Amino acid sequence: MKIRAEISKGDEIRYISHLDYSRAIERALRRAQLPLAYSEGFNPHVKLSFASALAVGITSQSEFMDLELTKTMNIDTIKSCLEPQLPAGINLIRCQQIYNNAAKLMAVVNLACYKVFFSELSGHEQLEKSIHKFNFSDNLLFVRENPKGKKQIDVKEYVQEICCNFYPYGLELSFDTKITPSGSIKPGEVLQALDHHYDLNLPLDDALICRTGLFIEKGTKRMSPFDLIGEK
């Protein structure tokens, strides 16, 4: 039996890596004593897959995972077994059976939505102007640096538009990033690119980033991974 679940990553565990997150869930599943399906081979793994990895420092209101069990179980029973075993910061939001022909999460989820919060920020005007410019420009080049080397990417290929909201207690940016077969962009990189290109001096370390949704976008239609669960 295959199951798709929507779960969260709360502030309590903001700083754990994706690998840590997935391991924490795997251990929770084992504690819940669910009949887990394991991969073949020397080091068997729980058959568990995620829609998209989440970086250290980022929380999420909506993550998706697919899981395989060796027996058929009632969804409510699964929920009630798993919920008490989840560590702080992980909530089970929704859980549903999926069928064999359901597309792999990783292959279909192609849009991630983020909110970024800054509690202290000066120079609002300049930021607003820059974001306006960004929204209307055709491209914004950014050099991604990692241990593998440098690579130039175009932010606009992944992010069309950024929204900006001012609150008495801070400022919030929100944007969607495309996840394409050839890659995506991390929200932290979007901020870095803006900061660098428009010379904003953003307090990047202060940014609280939260993923607010993962979707499947087809043309103008936006679907949830629960809309594509295959057929019996």
- Distance, in Å, from the CA atom of 211 to the CA atom of 127, rounded to the nearest integer, reads 22
Q: How far is the CB of 87 from other proteins (least distance, A)?
A: 5
**From the list 49, 85, 135, 174, which residue makes contact with other proteins (rule: CB under 8 A)?**
85
When asked if residue 48 is in the footprint of other proteins (CB under 8 A), the reply is: no
- Say whether residue 82 binds other proteins (CB under 8 A): no
Contact call for residue 54 and other proteins (CB under 8 A): no
Question: Long-range contacts: 71-74, Cβ < 8 Å, 24+?
Answer: 71/1, 71/35, 72/1, 73/1, 73/34, 73/35
The 160-199 site mask, x for binding other proteins (CB under 8 A), equals: ----------------------------------------
Q: How far is CA 219 from the centre of its chain?
A: 21
Minimum CB distance to other proteins, residue 72 (Å): 18
Q: Residue type for 229, please?
A: I
| Binding residues among 12-41 for other proteins as defined by CB under 8 A | 12-17, 19-21, 23-24, 26-31, 33, 36, 38
What is the distance between the alpha carbons of residues 147 and 11, in angstroms, rounded to a whole number?
A: 28
Q: How far is CA 171 from the centre of its chain?
A: 21
CB 107, CB 66: distance < 8 Å = no
Terminal-to-terminal C-alpha distance of the chain: 11
Q: How many residues bind other proteins (CB under 8 A)?
A: 35
Run of H or E residues at 135: helix 124-136
Q: Using CB under 8 A, pick the residue from 1, 2, 53, 57 that binds other proteins.
A: 57
Looking at residue 70, the DSSP 8-state letter turns out to be: S
The answer to whether residue 203 forms part of the interface with other proteins (CB under 8 A) is: yes
Pick one of 88, 148, 149, 150: the residue that binds other proteins (CB under 8 A): 88
Q: Which residues in this chain contact other proteins in the complex, by CB under 8 A?
A: 12-17, 19-21, 23-24, 26-31, 33, 36, 38, 42, 44, 46, 56-57, 85, 87-89, 203-208
